[in-house]
Structure 1
């Protein structure tokens, strides 16, 4: 991710938050996916750094249901979510640049 961002204290915090989100999204995909084949994507616009992971498997559950959820991603990201287009699922997070 350092290729996308300049160095500096405020951008380091953004990068660390995005890396934490990506690690959790990968763990979610590996836990819920039927395979370890993942497609990870990093993008940015003027305000956000986006990370996503596409995999072949189930979507995360709601935090209250006891299954694998995006609760830890929600704690770090400014926005996150998931969606499915059979047979693939995608989890994503957006971190506002500080």
Structure 2
């Protein structure tokens, strides 16, 4: 993926993710048909995503695809849980 991701369009980012997904899937030894059967998504949808032709994949579909390649935990990196603010920490300590 491009080092300066903010300079990339959403379509480019999704296209790059699709191509990377194909690499993961192949490395795990899964065919598109196997992923289709596992996720309930059509082979066409998977193929379109992997080829970069589909910039409209839904979040639900992406989660299904990540689950299929045993990478669902990577979603946590999208919006990691925020640590408590100093104000919240102070409140908690004060209540103890």
TM range, smaller chain: 0.3 to 0.5
- Higher CA-based Rg: 2
TM-score w.r.t. length of structure 2: 0.32
Asked which structure has the greater RCO (Cα within 8 Å, sep 6+), the reply is: 1
Q: Which structure dedicates a bigger proportion of its chain to strand?
A: 1
Identify, as 1 or 2, the structure richer in helix. Answer: 2
